[in-house]
Structure formats: structure tokens, C-alpha cells
């Protein structure tokens, strides 16, 4: 499904849920002019089509992860296999196959600098197929949006 396939009601429901993922079907229905049952059916349809997923978003800093970084990874073998291996590392929260200077972009969370070094040096760089890993440590997250895509 593409964004063009969403009608105005779908877009409004998604925007409301992006603002408050715990909104009741009654509140959603009232906001868009549907019954609670109608809002529920719309939301379930969006979920079934893979357009919408309602999840809890955590703050790594509040959970004790004081260090975050993006790791640019160059591989010398199958990039998908290396991506699978990266995804199995607990501290890895995001893996993207990409083109350009790096084959993968891997986002990690760590408790501190020593933990980040252990993750990069002992776990990421030792994955078979990793030719090079370059670390981009975060000073802070400037923008983190959850409201894109349907406006």
C-alpha cells in the first residue's frame, strides 16, 4: 500500500495515533466522524496492511544507555548475511543495507564509552564478512520524528 492509497480518514487516524498511540477507538471515532466500531475497523485494516504498527517507544537515555552511535560497516562478503549477524547483537537497534561508502549502517546503544568500545571492537568487528567499521558517536539526538508519512 502506498501513501496515495490512503484516504483522508486513514491519514487522520494515523496522525491521531502518532500523537497518542493509546487513544481509544471512541476518541478516534469522535475526532474523525466515525463510530468507535468504525474507527476500530479502520485501524485494524491499516494494521493488517502493514501501514500502521502501534508500539511503545523507549528513550535509551532514560534506560541507562548513555552512549549511542551509528556504525558504518563495509563488508567483503554477503551484505545480507552480515546484516543478519548484526541484527542478532542485542545492543543493535537499527540495521540498514545501503549504497555508497558503507554497505550497512548499524545503530547501537551502549551504557558508556567502554561498553561502546566492547560492542564495536569485540562484537561488530568480529562478525565474519566485516572488512571495516567506522563509528560515528552521537552527541545527542537533534530530531526524532514519529509523525511523518501521511500528512
Q: What is the mean pLDDT of each run of 10 residues along the chain (151 residues)?
A: 75 90 95 96 93 84 89 98 97 96 97 96 98 94 71 56
What pTM was estimated for this model as a whole?
0.75
Where are the domains positioned within the chain?
3-48, 67-137
Burial class (CB in 10 A: 0-12, 13-18, 19+), 100: exposed
Q: What angle do CA 104, 105, 106 make, to 5 degrees?
A: 110
| pLDDT value of position 140 | 82
| Domain 3-48 coded CATH 3.40.50.10780 | no
- Domain 67-137 class, CATH top level: alpha beta
| pLDDT value of position 102 | 98
| pLDDT value of position 6 | 86
Report whether 69 contacts 108 (CB < 8 A): yes
Pairing of strands 92-97, 104-110: antiparallel
Answer yes or no: same fold for 3-48 and 67-137: no
| pLDDT value of position 100 | 94
Amino acid at each position: 500500500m502506498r501513501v496515495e492509497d490512503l484516504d483522508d480518514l486513514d491519514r487522520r487516524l494515523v496522525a491521531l495515533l502518532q500523537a497518542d498511540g493509546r487513544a481509544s477507538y471512541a476518541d478516534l471515532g469522535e475526532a474523525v466522524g466515525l463510530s468507535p466500531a468504525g474507527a476500530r475497523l479502520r485501524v485494524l485494516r491499516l494494521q493488517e496492511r502493514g501501514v500502521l504498527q502501534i508500539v511503545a517507544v523507549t528513550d535509551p537515555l532514560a534506560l541507562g544507555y548513555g552512549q549511542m552511535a551509528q556504525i558504518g560497516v563495509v563488508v567483503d562478503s554477503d551484505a545480507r548475511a552480515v546484516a543478519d549477524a548484526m541484527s542478532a547483537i542485542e545492543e543493535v537497534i537499527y540495521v540498514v543495507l545501503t549504497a555508497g561508502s558503507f554497505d550497512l549502517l548499524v545503530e547501537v546503544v551502549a551504557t558508556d564509552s567502554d561498553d561502546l568500545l566492547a560492542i564495536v571492537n569485540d562484537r561488530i568487528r568480529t562478525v565474519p564478512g566485516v572488512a571495516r567499521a567506522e563509528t560515528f558517536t552521537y552527541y545527542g539526538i537533534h530530531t526524532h520524528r514519529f509523525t511523518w508519512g501521511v500528512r
